[in-house]
Structure 1
Amino acid sequence: MCLAIPSKVISIDSEMNVACLETLGVQREASLDLMQESVEVGDYVLLHVGFVMSKIDEESAKLSLEVYEQILESLKEEEEM
């Protein structure tokens, strides 16, 4: 099973073809080498194993991130039991 995380593009290094992304408060770099369409600062994208896979609309991204936060909260509660 593959899991792609919605992330917001914070900055782009065009020379290296890398984007800095923010996901749930964590920033990381990801390659844009697999993207067929252009990506701009402020776009939401799907991140998978260090690569930006595709764009996603903001509403869908935020809904997905809410679900991820709920899952993380549930896991945290289980650990505390």
Structure 2
Amino acid sequence: MCLAIPAEVVELHPNDMARCRVGKSDTYVDVSTMLLETAAEIGDYLIVHAGFALRKLDFQEAQETLRLLRQMANINEDSPGAF
């Protein structure tokens, strides 16, 4: 199963590429921003799937999505084999 995740743009690179931080972790992903309708800026939150930014998110939407993903991960840890 593949999952799209929110990530914050921390660096912009040439050729429509950006380095993004996932949540408050030390996990970073390099993503293509070529599919976005408007250019990404440092501090933007993006929904990222398979190395591509699909769209921008506002801060609240990104935080709520991350909260739900953490909650799902905790449920999975508490109930192995439940999914």
* TM-score (structure 1 length as normaliser): 0.86
CA RMSD of aligned residues (A): 1.6
Identity of aligned residues (%): 28
Taking structure 2 as the reference length, the TM-score comes to 0.84
Q: Which runs of 5+ in 2 are unaligned?
A: none
Aligned: 1:21 with 2:16: no
Q: Deviations over 1:11-66 (max 9, x none)?
A: 110x2321111113111100111112011010111101110011010001101100
One-letter amino acid of the structure 2 residue matched with residue 18 of structure 1: M
Instruction: Tell me how far apart the structure 2 counterparts of residues 70 and 39 of structure 1 sit (CA, whole Å).
Output: 28
SS in 2 for 1:59: helix
| Runs of 4+ displaced beyond 3 Å | none
For these two proteins, the number of residue pairs brought into alignment is 78
